Amino acid sequence: MKAIEISGVITDEKIKAIQSSASCDLFIHDAVCRGPLVLENYHLRSIRLHNVKTNDYLLIKNCQIETRVTCSSIKPQTTISFLDSDIGGDLIFHDILSGQSLELHTITVGGSLTLDQAIFSCITIHKCRMREFSLLPVERQNKIGSIRLASSEIQSDTTFSGLDNVHELKIENSFLHGLKIVKSTLQDAVVCIEETRLGTLRLSGVILQGTTKLRMASTDIEMLFMELAVSEQATVDCVTSIVSKSASFQVSMRDDSRIDISSSDFAQLRLHHDLARSSLDYPNSPLFHPEDSIQCIATIKLIKEMYFKEHDYWTEDRFFYLLKTVEQKALVDEFLQSGNIKHLFLWLLYIMFRFIFGWGVDLFNPLAAMAVLMICFSGLYEWAAYVSHHPMLLHIMHTQYSGFFAALILSTAALLNLDPLEATLGSLGPLLYFSEFFFGLLMVTLIIGIIIRKLVR
């Protein structure tokens, strides 16, 4: 094994004197380069750069490194770039405090990309393949402005911890075995994952504040777990994505924050209890965009399906009731805006099916409607007797009743489809009685159907 050591002022002659050999270790330390430092077309066993300062950029291009590359205490004036290179082991950046950008293009890292006590304004990773990407916790004093990962593959779980200084994290067109973002507070940041395949996506102990936007779009995920605290005007959007196994949203929402999961497909969805139940407070729940009825309807369908799979049929019925209410109201508003006179008929159907029939799942509305009908028909019986100049009389078991009380008893019997009672109703009385009998038959059938449905389920 041969070692090449360079220190002091780095000149072109010293760089050209480096011999390309797979058994050669290159060690550049305590050195200054007046211009850019470029290592190109070398085949080496390892590269170690320590306490190196350049007045321009640092570039490693078209190199094949058998083991590892370590960069520590280096101070480039502009960027650190790796291009079209293969690294058999780890790529390590330690104690990089320049605050410049790191660019990795078309490289293969057989080991781990590790940042430890590094300050970069931007990290760009494009068309790269590596076993692992490790961003050590905030205690290690990493400060990264933005991270952009595109068209790359990371074969092991990637963990980002302490992203408090990150204002942008963007992943697109990539494959990650797993991504964990933990113990981070994001203020006015953008986290965007687009057109990416992920084995597991886990966000734990993450706080979104200010105008932070967390967005997943057109992404395929096997398992998704979110433990978030979202406040102020922060938003979480899961758009046209697919979660093939399970998705859990343990999300605490406050202030004007919003979460949108309406356009994604979840094999198994679990929402935090408070978040799910808050959607019954339509349209004030953070799950809804009240101005977008399509989004609201799709969200309600997702939650309804979630409770169905959990066999919580009572709560599912509540969301079915909400779903039909929002759907019909949206349809009425659509015809109303178009000026179509059909909106009057749709309004009538909306009122009837919601407040009288309870969309076939709610018991309170039909029972309340029967009580109202009972009182209304009692008054009608009294009115019919008055215009016919016949007193309202009712005979039950040799006892005679008169007035509104008699009308109320008769109305109750008709509505509940009991045997006809002997009564003096006037000329309009029989018509009213059979009309009420018909409505009562319909309502009793509906109520029995609702009860049987709930018992069977």
Instruction: Give the tens place of pLDDT for each residue, 180-202.
Output: 998 889 999 999 999 999 999 99
Check pLDDT > 60 for residue 334.
yes
- pLDDT tens-digit profile of 28-83? 999 998 888 999 999 999 999 999 998 888 999 999 999 999 999 888 888 999 99
d(CA 452, CA 209): 48
Q: Averaged over 331-341, what is the pLDDT?
A: 78
Helix 429-456 to helix 403-415 angle, to the nearest 10 degrees?
Answer: 50
Lowest average pLDDT, out of 9-18, 87-96, 132-141, goes to: 132-141
Q: Are 409 and 433 in contact (CB under 8 A)?
A: no
Of residues 181, 201, 78, 202, the one with CA closest to residue 138 = 181
The pLDDT assigned to 113 comes to 93
Cα dihedral 87, 93, 94, 98, rounded to 10, equals 150
Ranges of beta strands (E only) in 345-432 are 393-396, 399-402, 422-424
Cross-strand pairs, 220? 197, 242
Amino acid at 273: H
The pLDDT assigned to 172 comes to 95
Any residues with CB less than 8 A from the CB of 266 and at least 6 apart, and which?
243, 247, 302
d(CA 7, CA 347): 85
How does residue 96 score in pLDDT terms, banded at 50, 70 and 90? confident
Q: Are 279 and 297 in contact (CB under 8 A)?
A: no
Q: Averaged over 295-323, what is the pLDDT?
A: 93
How does residue 425 score in pLDDT terms, banded at 50, 70 and 90? low
Say whether the peptide bond before residue 283 is cis (omega within 30 degrees of 0): yes
- pLDDT tens-digit profile of 208-234? 999 999 999 999 999 999 999 998 899
- pLDDT tens-digit profile of 372-400? 998 998 888 888 777 776 766 666 666 66
Check pLDDT > 60 for residue 422.
no
Helix 313-338 to helix 429-456 angle, to the nearest 10 degrees?
Answer: 130
d(CA 23, CA 5): 14
Q: Are 392 and 359 in contact (CB under 8 A)?
A: no
Domain ranges of the chain: 1-144, 155-271, 364-456
Give the pairing type, strands 213-217 and 190-194. Answer: parallel
The pLDDT assigned to 394 comes to 66
Phi-psi region of 297 (alpha: psi -120 to 50; beta: other; left: phi over 0): alpha
Lowest average pLDDT, out of 6-10, 179-183, 406-410, goes to: 406-410
**Which CATH number applies to 364-456?**
1.10.287.70
Lowest average pLDDT, out of 101-105, 247-251, 419-423, goes to: 419-423
Check pLDDT > 90 for residue 453.
no
Could you give the percent of the chain with pLDDT greater than 70? 92
Lowest average pLDDT, out of 235-249, 363-377, 421-435, goes to: 421-435
Q: Averaged over 314-329, what is the pLDDT?
A: 93
Q: Please state the length of the chain.
A: 457
Check pLDDT > 90 for residue 117.
no
Alpha carbon 412 to its chain's center: 51
The pLDDT assigned to 386 comes to 74
Take residue 191 and report the two structure tokens written for it.
């986290």
Check pLDDT > 60 for residue 139.
no
Q: Averaged over 326-351, what is the pLDDT?
A: 83
Of residues 451, 454, 452, 449, the one with CA closest to residue 316 = 454
Element (H, E) at 433: helix 429-456
The pLDDT assigned to 276 comes to 85
- pLDDT tens-digit profile of 253-287? 887 889 999 999 999 999 988 888 888 888 888 99
Q: Averaged over 359-377, what is the pLDDT?
A: 91
The pLDDT assigned to 396 comes to 67
Amino acid at 249: F
Take residue 236 and report the two structure tokens written for it.
């979480």
Check pLDDT > 70 for residue 144.
yes
Q: Could you tell me which residue, 369 or 425, shows the higher pLDDT? A: 369
The pLDDT assigned to 136 comes to 62
The pLDDT assigned to 187 comes to 92
Q: Could you tell me which residue, 176 or 100, shows the higher pLDDT? A: 176
